[in-house]
A and B are shown apart, each in its own frame.
Chain A
Protein backbone atom coordinates (compact mmCIF):
# COMPACT_ATOMS: atom_id res chain seq x y z
CA UNK A 1 0.00 0.00 0.00
CA UNK A 2 1.40 3.36 -0.90
CA UNK A 3 1.76 6.14 1.58
CA UNK A 4 -1.00 8.07 -0.13
CA UNK A 5 -3.40 5.17 0.06
CA UNK A 6 -2.55 4.72 3.70
CA UNK A 7 -3.20 8.34 4.57
CA UNK A 8 -6.44 8.29 2.62
CA UNK A 9 -7.52 5.20 4.47
CA UNK A 10 -6.71 6.83 7.80
CA UNK A 11 -8.68 9.94 6.91
CA UNK A 12 -11.77 8.40 5.44
CA UNK A 13 -11.78 5.09 7.21
CA UNK A 14 -12.16 3.35 3.94
CA UNK A 15 -11.48 -0.33 3.93
CA UNK A 16 -9.38 -1.45 1.04
CA UNK A 17 -9.69 -5.10 0.21
CA UNK A 18 -6.72 -6.56 -1.57
CA UNK A 19 -7.57 -9.46 -3.72
CA UNK A 20 -5.26 -11.86 -5.46
CA UNK A 21 -6.43 -13.19 -8.78
CA UNK A 22 -4.37 -16.36 -8.91
CA UNK A 23 -2.04 -15.55 -11.74
CA UNK A 24 0.59 -12.96 -10.98
CA UNK A 25 0.36 -9.76 -12.94
CA UNK A 26 2.66 -9.98 -15.90
CA UNK A 27 5.17 -7.20 -16.09
CA UNK A 28 5.45 -5.40 -19.40
CA UNK A 29 9.22 -5.72 -19.23
CA UNK A 30 11.21 -8.47 -17.65
CA UNK A 31 13.03 -6.81 -14.77
CA UNK A 32 16.04 -9.13 -14.91
CA UNK A 33 16.38 -8.51 -18.62
CA UNK A 34 16.36 -4.76 -18.17
CA UNK A 35 19.12 -5.05 -15.60
CA UNK A 36 21.17 -7.19 -17.97
CA UNK A 37 20.70 -4.70 -20.77
CA UNK A 38 21.74 -1.90 -18.46
CA UNK A 39 24.84 -3.77 -17.39
CA UNK A 40 25.79 -4.14 -21.03
CA UNK A 41 24.73 -0.72 -22.15
CA UNK A 42 26.58 1.48 -19.70
CA UNK A 43 30.11 0.24 -20.52
CA UNK A 44 29.29 0.32 -24.22
CA UNK A 45 28.13 3.88 -23.86
CA UNK A 46 31.35 4.75 -22.12
CA UNK A 47 33.37 3.28 -24.99
CA UNK A 48 31.34 5.19 -27.55
CA UNK A 49 31.81 8.43 -25.61
CA UNK A 50 35.53 7.75 -25.33
CA UNK A 51 35.74 7.23 -29.09
CA UNK A 52 33.73 10.36 -29.84
CA UNK A 53 35.65 12.52 -27.41
CA UNK A 54 39.00 11.34 -28.71
CA UNK A 55 37.89 12.14 -32.26
CA UNK A 56 36.68 15.53 -31.21
CA UNK A 57 39.98 16.08 -29.46
CA UNK A 58 38.31 16.49 -26.07
CA UNK A 59 40.58 13.81 -24.65
CA UNK A 60 44.22 13.77 -25.67
CA UNK A 61 44.59 10.92 -28.11
CA UNK A 62 48.34 10.65 -27.36
CA UNK A 63 47.62 9.87 -23.74
CA UNK A 64 44.34 8.03 -23.82
CA UNK A 65 44.22 6.69 -27.35
CA UNK A 66 40.80 5.58 -28.56
CA UNK A 67 38.89 2.31 -28.44
CA UNK A 68 39.17 1.72 -32.16
CA UNK A 69 42.90 2.39 -32.25
CA UNK A 70 43.42 0.02 -29.33
CA UNK A 71 41.36 -2.59 -31.09
CA UNK A 72 43.39 -2.14 -34.25
CA UNK A 73 46.59 -2.74 -32.28
CA UNK A 74 45.13 -5.73 -30.52
CA UNK A 75 44.04 -7.76 -33.53
CA UNK A 76 47.51 -8.28 -35.07
CA UNK A 77 48.95 -9.00 -31.64
CA UNK A 78 46.32 -11.70 -31.26
CA UNK A 79 46.93 -13.14 -34.70
CA UNK A 80 50.70 -13.26 -34.41
CA UNK A 81 50.35 -15.13 -31.15
CA UNK A 82 52.36 -12.44 -29.39
CA UNK A 83 49.61 -11.63 -26.94
CA UNK A 84 48.86 -15.26 -26.25
CA UNK A 85 52.52 -15.92 -25.58
CA UNK A 86 52.82 -13.16 -22.99
CA UNK A 87 49.53 -14.10 -21.45
CA UNK A 88 50.65 -17.69 -21.12
CA UNK A 89 53.97 -16.69 -19.51
CA UNK A 90 52.22 -14.48 -16.97
CA UNK A 91 49.47 -17.00 -16.29
CA UNK A 92 52.09 -19.65 -15.65
CA UNK A 93 53.90 -17.41 -13.17
CA UNK A 94 50.64 -16.56 -11.45
CA UNK A 95 49.56 -20.19 -11.16
CA UNK A 96 52.93 -21.41 -9.91
CA UNK A 97 53.31 -18.50 -7.52
CA UNK A 98 49.76 -18.93 -6.31
CA UNK A 99 50.27 -22.63 -5.61
CA UNK A 100 53.65 -22.04 -3.99
CA UNK A 101 52.03 -19.55 -1.64
CA UNK A 102 48.62 -21.10 -1.09
CA UNK A 103 49.64 -24.67 -0.25
CA UNK A 104 51.98 -23.82 2.62
CA UNK A 105 49.54 -21.07 3.62
CA UNK A 106 46.73 -23.58 4.05
CA UNK A 107 48.86 -26.16 5.85
CA UNK A 108 50.40 -23.67 8.24
CA UNK A 109 47.09 -21.87 8.72
CA UNK A 110 45.37 -25.11 9.68
CA UNK A 111 48.13 -25.99 12.12
CA UNK A 112 48.10 -22.56 13.69
CA UNK A 113 44.35 -22.64 13.96
CA UNK A 114 44.20 -26.10 15.50
CA UNK A 115 47.14 -26.08 17.86
CA UNK A 116 47.60 -23.22 20.28
CA UNK A 117 51.34 -23.86 20.89
CA UNK A 118 52.08 -23.64 17.17
CA UNK A 119 49.98 -20.51 16.95
CA UNK A 120 51.72 -18.95 19.94
CA UNK A 121 55.18 -19.61 18.57
CA UNK A 122 54.58 -18.55 14.97
CA UNK A 123 52.12 -15.69 15.37
CA UNK A 124 54.73 -13.08 16.42
CA UNK A 125 56.71 -13.71 13.26
CA UNK A 126 53.63 -13.60 11.06
CA UNK A 127 52.41 -10.40 12.70
CA UNK A 128 55.83 -8.79 12.36
CA UNK A 129 56.42 -9.65 8.71
CA UNK A 130 52.89 -9.43 7.32
CA UNK A 131 52.70 -5.62 7.22
CA UNK A 132 55.94 -5.31 5.21
CA UNK A 133 54.86 -4.28 1.70
CA UNK A 134 55.72 -7.13 -0.62
CA UNK A 135 57.07 -4.68 -3.18
CA UNK A 136 59.64 -3.52 -0.65
CA UNK A 137 61.22 -6.95 -0.42
CA UNK A 138 61.44 -7.45 -4.17
CA UNK A 139 65.06 -6.28 -4.33
CA UNK A 140 65.93 -8.76 -1.61
CA UNK A 141 64.10 -11.49 -3.50
CA UNK A 142 66.07 -10.61 -6.63
CA UNK A 143 69.34 -10.87 -4.72
CA UNK A 144 68.41 -14.21 -3.21
CA UNK A 145 66.64 -15.85 -6.14
CA UNK A 146 68.40 -14.19 -9.01
CA UNK A 147 66.86 -12.73 -12.12
CA UNK A 148 65.16 -15.89 -13.38
CA UNK A 149 61.69 -17.33 -13.00
CA UNK A 150 62.18 -18.21 -9.33
CA UNK A 151 62.22 -14.62 -8.15
CA UNK A 152 58.97 -13.81 -9.91
CA UNK A 153 57.22 -16.89 -8.64
CA UNK A 154 58.46 -16.27 -5.13
CA UNK A 155 57.27 -12.67 -5.16
CA UNK A 156 53.76 -13.79 -5.99
CA UNK A 157 53.95 -16.72 -3.60
CA UNK A 158 54.83 -14.58 -0.62
CA UNK A 159 51.94 -12.22 -1.26
CA UNK A 160 49.48 -15.08 -1.58
CA UNK A 161 50.96 -16.96 1.36
CA UNK A 162 50.13 -14.41 4.04
CA UNK A 163 46.57 -13.81 2.92
CA UNK A 164 45.81 -17.52 2.70
CA UNK A 165 47.55 -18.26 5.98
CA UNK A 166 45.67 -15.63 7.93
CA UNK A 167 42.31 -16.49 6.42
CA UNK A 168 42.80 -20.20 6.95
CA UNK A 169 43.75 -19.72 10.56
CA UNK A 170 40.76 -17.47 11.15
CA UNK A 171 38.60 -20.07 9.42
CA UNK A 172 39.75 -22.80 11.80
CA UNK A 173 39.40 -20.58 14.85
CA UNK A 174 35.86 -19.76 13.78
CA UNK A 175 34.81 -23.40 13.69
CA UNK A 176 32.31 -24.03 16.45
CA UNK A 177 33.89 -25.92 19.37
CA UNK A 178 31.08 -28.44 19.25
CA UNK A 179 32.48 -29.92 16.02
CA UNK A 180 35.88 -30.37 17.61
CA UNK A 181 34.19 -32.05 20.56
CA UNK A 182 32.37 -34.44 18.24
CA UNK A 183 35.64 -35.40 16.54
CA UNK A 184 37.38 -35.80 19.88
CA UNK A 185 34.54 -37.86 21.27
CA UNK A 186 34.71 -40.27 18.37
CA UNK A 187 38.46 -40.56 18.85
CA UNK A 188 39.77 -38.68 15.83
CA UNK A 189 43.56 -38.61 15.46
CA UNK A 190 45.34 -35.28 14.95
CA UNK A 191 45.50 -36.02 11.23
CA UNK A 192 41.78 -36.80 11.17
CA UNK A 193 41.14 -33.48 12.91
CA UNK A 194 42.68 -31.84 9.85
CA UNK A 195 40.88 -33.87 7.27
CA UNK A 196 37.41 -34.19 8.77
CA UNK A 197 36.94 -30.96 10.72
CA UNK A 198 39.57 -28.24 10.41
CA UNK A 199 40.03 -28.33 6.65
CA UNK A 200 36.40 -28.68 5.52
CA UNK A 201 35.21 -26.34 8.25
CA UNK A 202 37.69 -23.67 7.24
CA UNK A 203 37.13 -24.09 3.49
CA UNK A 204 34.82 -21.09 3.05
CA UNK A 205 37.41 -18.85 4.69
CA UNK A 206 40.23 -20.55 2.80
CA UNK A 207 38.51 -19.63 -0.44
CA UNK A 208 38.07 -16.07 0.76
CA UNK A 209 41.85 -16.09 1.25
CA UNK A 210 42.39 -17.53 -2.22
CA UNK A 211 40.35 -14.74 -3.77
CA UNK A 212 42.23 -12.03 -1.89
CA UNK A 213 45.48 -13.80 -2.76
CA UNK A 214 44.58 -13.85 -6.44
CA UNK A 215 44.02 -10.10 -6.35
CA UNK A 216 47.45 -9.62 -4.86
CA UNK A 217 49.01 -12.02 -7.35
CA UNK A 218 47.80 -9.86 -10.24
CA UNK A 219 49.20 -6.81 -8.55
CA UNK A 220 52.54 -8.45 -7.96
CA UNK A 221 52.93 -9.95 -11.43
CA UNK A 222 53.17 -6.49 -12.94
CA UNK A 223 55.76 -5.45 -10.37
CA UNK A 224 57.68 -8.71 -10.72
CA UNK A 225 57.81 -8.40 -14.49
CA UNK A 226 59.12 -4.87 -14.23
CA UNK A 227 62.52 -6.08 -13.17
CA UNK A 228 64.55 -8.49 -15.20
CA UNK A 229 61.83 -10.03 -17.31
CA UNK A 230 61.76 -10.66 -21.03
CA UNK A 231 58.15 -11.62 -21.40
CA UNK A 232 54.76 -11.49 -19.73
CA UNK A 233 51.82 -9.14 -19.75
CA UNK A 234 53.37 -7.05 -17.00
CA UNK A 235 56.53 -6.77 -19.02
CA UNK A 236 54.39 -5.71 -21.98
CA UNK A 237 53.03 -2.83 -19.93
CA UNK A 238 56.49 -1.63 -19.00
CA UNK A 239 57.79 -2.20 -22.49
CA UNK A 240 54.97 -0.11 -23.92
CA UNK A 241 55.87 2.54 -21.36
CA UNK A 242 59.49 2.56 -22.55
CA UNK A 243 58.39 2.85 -26.16
CA UNK A 244 55.60 5.27 -25.33
CA UNK A 245 53.24 2.94 -27.17
CA UNK A 246 49.94 3.84 -25.54
CA UNK A 247 47.84 1.44 -27.62
CA UNK A 248 50.00 -1.52 -26.70
CA UNK A 249 49.84 -0.50 -23.09
CA UNK A 250 46.05 -0.50 -23.19
CA UNK A 251 46.06 -3.88 -24.85
CA UNK A 252 48.23 -5.21 -22.04
CA UNK A 253 45.99 -3.65 -19.42
CA UNK A 254 42.93 -5.19 -21.00
CA UNK A 255 44.69 -8.55 -21.04
CA UNK A 256 45.48 -8.18 -17.35
CA UNK A 257 41.86 -7.43 -16.58
CA UNK A 258 40.89 -10.47 -18.62
CA UNK A 259 43.41 -12.64 -16.76
CA UNK A 260 42.02 -11.42 -13.46
CA UNK A 261 38.50 -12.20 -14.59
CA UNK A 262 39.40 -15.71 -15.74
CA UNK A 263 41.22 -16.56 -12.53
CA UNK A 264 38.45 -15.32 -10.27
CA UNK A 265 35.93 -17.18 -12.41
CA UNK A 266 37.97 -20.38 -12.04
CA UNK A 267 38.15 -19.89 -8.29
CA UNK A 268 34.41 -19.32 -8.22
CA UNK A 269 33.81 -22.62 -10.00
CA UNK A 270 36.30 -24.45 -7.82
CA UNK A 271 34.51 -23.10 -4.76
CA UNK A 272 31.16 -24.38 -5.97
CA UNK A 273 32.63 -27.82 -6.61
CA UNK A 274 34.63 -28.06 -3.39
CA UNK A 275 32.02 -26.56 -1.07
CA UNK A 276 28.73 -27.97 -2.33
CA UNK A 277 27.26 -27.69 1.14
CA UNK A 278 27.51 -23.92 0.98
CA UNK A 279 25.97 -23.62 -2.45
CA UNK A 280 22.51 -22.28 -1.88
CA UNK A 281 23.36 -19.96 0.93
CA UNK A 282 23.41 -17.21 -1.61
Chain B
Protein backbone atom coordinates (compact mmCIF):
# COMPACT_ATOMS: atom_id res chain seq x y z
CA UNK B 1 0.00 0.00 0.00
CA UNK B 2 2.92 2.30 0.60
CA UNK B 3 4.20 1.69 -2.86
CA UNK B 4 1.54 2.69 -5.38
CA UNK B 5 3.00 0.80 -8.32
CA UNK B 6 1.03 -2.00 -9.85
CA UNK B 7 2.09 -5.61 -9.52
CA UNK B 8 -0.42 -7.18 -11.89
CA UNK B 9 -2.26 -5.86 -14.93
CA UNK B 10 -4.87 -7.87 -16.71
CA UNK B 11 -6.11 -6.50 -20.01
CA UNK B 12 -9.05 -7.95 -21.84
CA UNK B 13 -8.34 -11.34 -20.33
CA UNK B 14 -10.58 -14.04 -21.75
CA UNK B 15 -10.48 -17.76 -21.21
CA UNK B 16 -12.48 -20.22 -23.24
CA UNK B 17 -12.57 -23.94 -22.50
CA UNK B 18 -13.50 -26.43 -25.16
CA UNK B 19 -14.93 -29.43 -23.43
CA UNK B 20 -16.61 -32.17 -25.45
CA UNK B 21 -17.34 -29.89 -28.40
CA UNK B 22 -18.91 -27.40 -26.01
CA UNK B 23 -17.52 -23.93 -25.69
CA UNK B 24 -17.36 -22.63 -22.14
CA UNK B 25 -16.43 -18.99 -21.69
CA UNK B 26 -14.96 -19.03 -18.19
CA UNK B 27 -13.61 -15.49 -18.15
CA UNK B 28 -14.60 -12.62 -20.40
CA UNK B 29 -12.74 -9.35 -20.87
CA UNK B 30 -11.28 -9.06 -17.43
CA UNK B 31 -9.55 -5.73 -16.88
CA UNK B 32 -7.87 -5.49 -13.54
CA UNK B 33 -4.92 -3.92 -11.81
CA UNK B 34 -3.53 -5.13 -8.54
CA UNK B 35 -1.33 -2.81 -6.55
CA UNK B 36 1.87 -4.04 -5.07
CA UNK B 37 1.41 -5.29 -1.54
CA UNK B 38 -2.33 -5.30 -1.89
CA UNK B 39 -4.66 -7.93 -0.43
CA UNK B 40 -7.32 -8.49 -3.02
CA UNK B 41 -10.31 -10.72 -2.33
CA UNK B 42 -12.35 -12.21 -5.12
CA UNK B 43 -15.96 -13.21 -4.57
CA UNK B 44 -18.45 -14.50 -7.08
CA UNK B 45 -20.94 -17.29 -7.62
CA UNK B 46 -19.71 -20.82 -8.04
CA UNK B 47 -18.40 -21.53 -11.52
CA UNK B 48 -17.77 -17.90 -12.44
CA UNK B 49 -14.12 -18.49 -13.22
CA UNK B 50 -12.35 -17.49 -10.00
CA UNK B 51 -10.13 -20.55 -9.92
CA UNK B 52 -9.43 -20.19 -13.63
CA UNK B 53 -8.23 -16.63 -13.06
CA UNK B 54 -5.80 -17.73 -10.38
CA UNK B 55 -4.58 -20.65 -12.43
CA UNK B 56 -3.76 -18.32 -15.30
CA UNK B 57 -1.79 -16.10 -12.95
CA UNK B 58 -0.01 -19.16 -11.56
CA UNK B 59 0.97 -20.23 -15.06
CA UNK B 60 -1.02 -23.45 -14.82
CA UNK B 61 -3.42 -22.38 -17.55
CA UNK B 62 -3.03 -20.13 -20.57
CA UNK B 63 -5.48 -17.37 -21.42
CA UNK B 64 -7.29 -17.54 -24.74
CA UNK B 65 -7.09 -13.80 -25.40
CA UNK B 66 -5.76 -10.79 -23.62
CA UNK B 67 -2.71 -9.78 -21.71
CA UNK B 68 -1.30 -10.75 -18.36
CA UNK B 69 1.42 -8.48 -17.07
CA UNK B 70 3.15 -9.37 -13.85
CA UNK B 71 5.92 -7.07 -12.70
CA UNK B 72 8.70 -8.87 -10.97
CA UNK B 73 10.70 -6.83 -8.52
CA UNK B 74 13.05 -9.56 -7.55
CA UNK B 75 13.89 -12.17 -10.17
CA UNK B 76 15.47 -14.33 -7.49
CA UNK B 77 12.08 -15.02 -5.97
CA UNK B 78 9.43 -17.26 -7.42
CA UNK B 79 6.76 -15.23 -9.15
CA UNK B 80 3.69 -16.89 -7.66
CA UNK B 81 2.70 -19.64 -5.34
CA UNK B 82 -0.75 -20.97 -4.99
CA UNK B 83 -2.80 -22.45 -2.21
CA UNK B 84 -5.16 -24.75 -4.02
CA UNK B 85 -8.85 -25.27 -3.51
CA UNK B 86 -9.17 -28.68 -1.89
CA UNK B 87 -6.77 -31.22 -0.45
CA UNK B 88 -3.30 -30.56 -1.77
CA UNK B 89 -0.98 -31.50 1.09
CA UNK B 90 1.27 -34.32 -0.11
CA UNK B 91 0.30 -37.37 1.98
CA UNK B 92 3.72 -38.94 1.41
CA UNK B 93 5.65 -36.11 3.04
CA UNK B 94 5.81 -35.14 6.67
CA UNK B 95 4.43 -31.78 7.73
CA UNK B 96 7.89 -30.22 7.68
CA UNK B 97 8.70 -31.72 4.29
CA UNK B 98 5.44 -30.40 2.90
CA UNK B 99 6.06 -26.93 4.23
CA UNK B 100 9.63 -26.88 2.90
CA UNK B 101 8.68 -28.32 -0.50
CA UNK B 102 9.50 -25.20 -2.51
CA UNK B 103 12.93 -25.04 -0.89
CA UNK B 104 13.64 -28.63 -1.88
CA UNK B 105 12.66 -27.78 -5.46
CA UNK B 106 15.10 -24.88 -5.36
CA UNK B 107 17.87 -27.17 -4.15
CA UNK B 108 18.36 -25.61 -0.73
CA UNK B 109 20.22 -27.95 1.63
CA UNK B 110 18.27 -30.01 4.09
CA UNK B 111 19.25 -28.41 7.38
CA UNK B 112 18.65 -24.93 6.03
CA UNK B 113 15.28 -26.09 4.74
CA UNK B 114 14.33 -27.40 8.11
CA UNK B 115 15.28 -24.15 9.81
CA UNK B 116 13.04 -22.07 7.56
CA UNK B 117 10.25 -24.62 7.81
CA UNK B 118 10.42 -24.62 11.59
CA UNK B 119 10.03 -20.86 11.65
CA UNK B 120 6.80 -21.01 9.63
CA UNK B 121 5.54 -24.06 11.47
CA UNK B 122 5.74 -22.01 14.61
CA UNK B 123 3.99 -19.04 13.00
CA UNK B 124 1.13 -21.27 11.86
CA UNK B 125 0.83 -23.10 15.17
CA UNK B 126 2.14 -26.33 13.72
CA UNK B 127 5.20 -26.78 15.91
CA UNK B 128 5.24 -30.22 17.41
CA UNK B 129 3.75 -31.70 14.23
CA UNK B 130 6.85 -31.31 12.08
CA UNK B 131 7.52 -35.02 11.70
CA UNK B 132 3.99 -36.36 11.54
CA UNK B 133 2.31 -37.40 8.34
CA UNK B 134 -0.71 -35.34 7.24
CA UNK B 135 -3.23 -38.19 7.35
CA UNK B 136 -3.07 -38.03 11.13
CA UNK B 137 -4.10 -34.37 11.12
CA UNK B 138 -7.42 -32.56 11.00
CA UNK B 139 -8.61 -30.50 8.06
CA UNK B 140 -7.69 -27.29 9.84
CA UNK B 141 -4.14 -28.47 10.39
CA UNK B 142 -3.82 -29.46 6.74
CA UNK B 143 -4.87 -26.03 5.59
CA UNK B 144 -2.28 -24.51 7.90
CA UNK B 145 0.29 -26.63 6.11
CA UNK B 146 -0.95 -25.38 2.75
CA UNK B 147 -0.72 -21.76 3.80
CA UNK B 148 2.68 -22.24 5.40
CA UNK B 149 3.95 -24.02 2.27
CA UNK B 150 2.98 -21.04 0.13
CA UNK B 151 4.56 -18.52 2.48
CA UNK B 152 7.80 -20.49 2.76
CA UNK B 153 8.38 -20.24 -0.98
CA UNK B 154 8.34 -16.46 -0.44
CA UNK B 155 6.76 -15.60 -3.80
CA UNK B 156 6.18 -12.12 -5.15
CA UNK B 157 2.50 -12.89 -5.50
CA UNK B 158 0.45 -15.15 -3.29
CA UNK B 159 -2.59 -16.85 -4.79
CA UNK B 160 -5.07 -18.44 -2.44
CA UNK B 161 -8.09 -20.34 -3.69
CA UNK B 162 -10.63 -20.70 -0.90
CA UNK B 163 -7.97 -21.91 1.52
CA UNK B 164 -10.39 -22.01 4.43
CA UNK B 165 -13.46 -23.04 2.44
CA UNK B 166 -13.75 -26.50 3.91
CA UNK B 167 -13.21 -25.47 7.52
CA UNK B 168 -15.68 -24.97 10.32
CA UNK B 169 -16.38 -21.50 11.65
CA UNK B 170 -14.04 -21.72 14.65
CA UNK B 171 -11.07 -22.94 12.69
CA UNK B 172 -11.79 -20.41 10.01
CA UNK B 173 -11.67 -17.50 12.45
CA UNK B 174 -8.45 -18.71 14.00
CA UNK B 175 -6.79 -19.18 10.64
CA UNK B 176 -7.98 -15.81 9.38
CA UNK B 177 -6.36 -14.15 12.35
CA UNK B 178 -3.18 -16.12 11.83
CA UNK B 179 -3.08 -15.35 8.14
CA UNK B 180 -3.49 -11.64 8.92
CA UNK B 181 -0.65 -11.88 11.37
CA UNK B 182 1.86 -13.35 8.95
CA UNK B 183 0.56 -11.44 5.97
CA UNK B 184 0.70 -8.05 7.65
CA UNK B 185 4.34 -8.77 8.41
CA UNK B 186 5.09 -9.59 4.78
CA UNK B 187 2.94 -7.16 2.78
CA UNK B 188 2.81 -9.57 -0.10
CA UNK B 189 0.58 -8.95 -3.08
CA UNK B 190 -2.18 -11.45 -2.49
CA UNK B 191 -5.20 -12.64 -4.43
CA UNK B 192 -7.60 -14.53 -2.22
CA UNK B 193 -10.75 -16.29 -3.37
CA UNK B 194 -13.55 -16.82 -0.90
CA UNK B 195 -17.24 -17.53 -0.74
CA UNK B 196 -17.55 -15.78 2.57
CA UNK B 197 -18.21 -12.04 2.58
CA UNK B 198 -17.16 -11.90 6.24
CA UNK B 199 -13.83 -13.39 5.38
CA UNK B 200 -13.28 -11.02 2.46
CA UNK B 201 -14.10 -8.00 4.62
CA UNK B 202 -11.73 -9.03 7.34
CA UNK B 203 -8.81 -9.66 5.03
CA UNK B 204 -9.07 -7.45 1.97
CA UNK B 205 -7.87 -4.06 0.89
CA UNK B 206 -10.27 -4.34 -2.02
CA UNK B 207 -12.97 -6.84 -2.89
CA UNK B 208 -13.76 -7.80 -6.47
CA UNK B 209 -17.24 -9.05 -7.17
CA UNK B 210 -17.42 -11.19 -10.29
CA UNK B 211 -20.45 -11.76 -12.46
CA UNK B 212 -22.02 -15.13 -12.96
CA UNK B 213 -20.89 -17.19 -15.92
CA UNK B 214 -19.12 -15.87 -17.97
CA UNK B 215 -16.94 -14.26 -15.34
CA UNK B 216 -16.45 -10.53 -15.63
CA UNK B 217 -15.55 -7.90 -13.08
CA UNK B 218 -18.85 -6.56 -11.78
CA UNK B 219 -17.64 -4.18 -9.11
CA UNK B 220 -14.64 -3.37 -7.00
CA UNK B 221 -15.23 -2.25 -3.43
CA UNK B 222 -12.37 -0.70 -1.45
CA UNK B 223 -12.23 -1.69 2.20
CA UNK B 224 -10.71 1.20 4.10
CA UNK B 225 -10.23 -0.45 7.44
CA UNK B 226 -6.86 0.33 8.96
CA UNK B 227 -4.27 -2.36 9.66
CA UNK B 228 -3.18 -4.19 11.70
CA UNK B 229 -6.67 -5.59 11.95
CA UNK B 230 -8.27 -7.50 14.75
CA UNK B 231 -11.04 -9.78 13.58
CA UNK B 232 -13.11 -9.43 16.69
CA UNK B 233 -13.36 -5.67 17.01
CA UNK B 234 -13.62 -5.37 13.27
CA UNK B 235 -16.66 -7.58 13.03
CA UNK B 236 -18.58 -5.53 15.53
CA UNK B 237 -17.87 -2.17 13.89
CA UNK B 238 -20.71 -0.33 12.08
CA UNK B 239 -18.50 0.06 9.03
CA UNK B 240 -18.35 -3.71 8.73
CA UNK B 241 -22.12 -4.04 8.63
CA UNK B 242 -22.51 -1.36 5.98
CA UNK B 243 -19.87 -2.90 3.75
CA UNK B 244 -21.36 -6.34 4.22
CA UNK B 245 -24.71 -5.06 2.94
CA UNK B 246 -23.16 -3.34 -0.02
CA UNK B 247 -21.27 -6.40 -1.12
CA UNK B 248 -24.12 -8.78 -0.49
CA UNK B 249 -26.45 -6.64 -2.66
CA UNK B 250 -23.97 -6.85 -5.54
CA UNK B 251 -23.27 -10.52 -5.06
CA UNK B 252 -26.86 -11.57 -4.53
CA UNK B 253 -27.84 -10.59 -8.08
CA UNK B 254 -25.11 -12.75 -9.51
CA UNK B 255 -25.82 -15.72 -7.32
CA UNK B 256 -29.49 -15.62 -8.34
CA UNK B 257 -28.46 -15.30 -11.98
CA UNK B 258 -26.15 -18.29 -11.63
CA UNK B 259 -28.96 -20.31 -10.09
CA UNK B 260 -31.45 -19.51 -12.83
CA UNK B 261 -28.80 -20.41 -15.43
CA UNK B 262 -28.30 -23.71 -13.72
CA UNK B 263 -32.03 -24.38 -13.84
CA UNK B 264 -32.12 -23.70 -17.58
CA UNK B 265 -29.37 -26.22 -18.27
Contact = CB atoms under 8 A, between A and B. Distances in A.
Interface of A: 176, 178-179, 181-189, 192, 196-197, 200-201, 203, 275-277, 280-281
Contacts, number: 62
A201 B101 CA distance: 15
B252 interface: no
A179 B88 contact: yes
5 contacts: A178-B86, A179-B90, A181-B82, A201-B90, A203-B92
Contacts of B60: 181, 184-185
B90 A182 contact: yes
A280 to B, nearest CB: 8
B80 A185 contact: yes
B143 interface: no
Contacts of A189: 105
Contacts of B14: none
Q: Which label, helix, strand, loop or mixed, suits the secondary structure of the B interface?
A: loop
Identify the 8 closest CB pairs spanning chains A and B, nearest first: A200-B92, A277-B133, A186-B102, A178-B88, A185-B82, A186-B105, A277-B92, A188-B105
Nearest to B136: A280
Most chain B beta-carbon contacts within 10 A, residue among A179, A181, A186: A186
Nearest to B79: A187
Most chain A beta-carbon contacts within 10 A, residue among B80, B105, B134: B105
B125 interface: no
Given A185-B60, A186-B102, A192-B105, A277 B91 contact: yes
B88 A187 contact: no
B153 interface: yes
Most chain B beta-carbon contacts within 10 A, residue among A176, A184, A200, A277: A277
Nearest to A275: B92
B229 interface: no
Contacts of A179: 88, 90
Contacts of A185: 58-60, 80-82
B103 to A, nearest CB: 9
Interface string B106-133: 1000000000000000000000000001
A275 B93 CA distance: 10
A205 to B, nearest CB: 13
A201 B58 contact: no
Contacts of A181: 60, 82, 84, 88
Nearest to A176: B87
Nearest to B61: A181
A48 B104 CA distance: 61
Contact of B101 (A176, A196, A280): A196
Most chain B beta-carbon contacts within 10 A, residue among A176, A185, A188, A189: A185
A176 B88 CA distance: 9
B135 interface: yes
A192 B104 CA distance: 9
A187 B136 CA distance: 28
A201 B92 contact: yes
Given A185-B59, A192-B105, A196-B105, 9 more contacts: A178-B84, A178-B86, A181-B88, A186-B105, A187-B105, A188-B105, A201-B90, A201-B92, A275-B92
Contacts of A196: 90, 93, 101, 104-105
A89 B255 CA distance: 72
B84 A186 contact: no
Given A181-B60, A185-B80, A186-B153, A276 B88 contact: no
Interface string B58-91: 1110000000000000000010111010111011
A178 B105 contact: no
Interface string B145-177: 000000001000000000000000000000000
Nearest to A178: B88
A191 to B, nearest CB: 11
A204 to B, nearest CB: 9
Nearest to B85: A178
Nearest to A199: B92
A182 B150 CA distance: 10
Contacts of B78: 186-187
B142 to A, nearest CB: 13
Nearest to A279: B133
Contact of A197 (B82, B90, B102, B133): B90
Nearest to A274: B92
B105 to A, nearest CB: 5
